[in-house]
Amino acid sequence: MGSQLEVTHTAKHTDPACLALYGEAMSESVKYKRQFFAPAIRKYLPVEQFSVDRPCLILDLGSCTSALARDLVQDLPPYFHFIENDLDRNFLYIAREGVKEDGNETSFSHVQANAVQLPFQTASIDAVMHSSFFHEIFSFPVTGKGPFNFENCSQVVREISRIVRPGGYVFGRDYVARPQDAEEVLRVETTDYDGKTILDTAELLRTPINELSNSSKVARFLMEFEPARKWRSMNAGETKYLPAWLVSELLFHLNYTCSDAMWSSEIYEQYGDLSESEIHALALVHGFEPIQNDAVSHYDVAEGKGLNITNLKGEIVNTRDRFPTNTYLIWRKK
């Protein structure tokens, strides 16, 4: 697989408390993610094509704590091998410990490397999978051109194309979808939903970082519809909650960065970076045939929960095709 690269960027999640909360939030989402990944792997990587002498190599980009891969491997033969890749060595440590607990060490390897320059030979990987990954690439200065740059994502897809063999696949579930109009910033308007007050993004972005020590000043934002069990409060007795992963981000920024600009960028990255048409174009440019390139609509989610999508003026703008959320990708390498 080549030599391991030196990591030049500082990973965001370094505090154990942040890691624990973030990992818990990611683990809770596995049962939803496997509904997409497990059938895709079975269909496009049939077990009869592989063997002990010809193992199936699946690269898990941005693997975090490896919760998803540890779940998927249970239904696969021992000659399916997951290569867990993350920029954060702390996540990789947690992943290794989890794999040891499962007794599946032979089905995993762990590589710390930047996704823009992966230490694998050309056409050496059977499939790449990623979940909740591209919005991080979008917001990271991986290309030297700064964060929130389309070229960040393009260069990573170019690298994925290099390492995936002809006829190999990319499976992705990500927060990459956004409205075609990138300037259209939306919020959810509701009162007393599940007993928790949801405010808008503007208040969060207006509040200086040193005043965010109390989560009652932190609002849910941009059409996040997390189940209540994923929500956390930083102080007992509060009525305003936020997703567990956002608590970890808040703790990190308070304890380590204290930067208004960095906190704002952390929020803005969650808006998603690519529209459906841009995702489709990325696949074609880098030699992939899009088999599936679908986005779930915020409208569908909001409708099911009895919520309204509004613009910043408070006007209801429930329109199915305008507001995609998670995108599900299956690409085949030509």
Q: Which range scores top for mean pLDDT: 91-95, 116-120, 218-222, 298-302?
A: 116-120
Is 307 a member of any domain? no
Which of 65-69, 141-145, 258-262: highest mean pLDDT?
A: 65-69
Cβ distance 156 to 137 under 8 Å? yes
Residue 326: pLDDT band by 50, 70, 90 thresholds?
A: confident
Could you list the beta-strand ranges (E) of the chain.
Answer: 56-61, 80-86, 108-112, 125-131, 164-174, 187-189, 231-232, 242-243, 288-297, 308-310, 324-333
d(CA 293, CA 287): 15
Alpha-carbon Rg for the chain in angstroms: 20
Q: Does the pLDDT of residue 58 top 60, yes or no? A: yes
* Residue 3 placed within a domain: no
Looking at the structure, tell me whether residues 145 and 292 fall in a common domain: yes
**DSSP bridge pairs for 109:** 83
Q: What is the pLDDT of residue 66?
A: 93
Are 113 and 151 within one domain? yes
β-sheet bridge partners, residue 332: 169, 289
Please give the torsion angle defined by the CA atoms of residues 269, 144, 110 and 330, in that order, rounded to the nearest 10 degrees: 60
Q: Helix, strand or coil for residue 68?
A: helix
Of the candidates 78, 121, 102, the one whose C-alpha atom is nearest the C-alpha of residue 111 is 121
Cα–Cα distance for residue pair 83/99, rounded to 1 Å: 12
Q: Is residue 312 part of a domain?
A: no
Helix or strand or coil: residue 11? coil
Specify the CATH number for the domain of residue 275. 3.40.50.150
The pLDDT of residue 254 is 53
What's the confidence (pLDDT) of residue 224? 37
Residue 179 pLDDT > 60: no
Say if 1 falls within a structural domain.
no
CA distances to 25, 30, 55 from 95, rounded to whole Å, are 15, 14, 21
- Residue matched to tokens 């890691």: 19
Pairing of strands 324-333, 231-232: unpaired
Residue 49 has pLDDT above 80, yes or no: yes
Q: How far apart (Å, rounded) are the C-alpha atoms in residues 72 and 237?
A: 38
Same domain, 157 and 243: no
Confidence class for position 190, pLDDT limits 50, 70, 90: very low
Greatest mean pLDDT among 6-10, 165-169, 234-238: 165-169
Same domain, 205 and 166: no
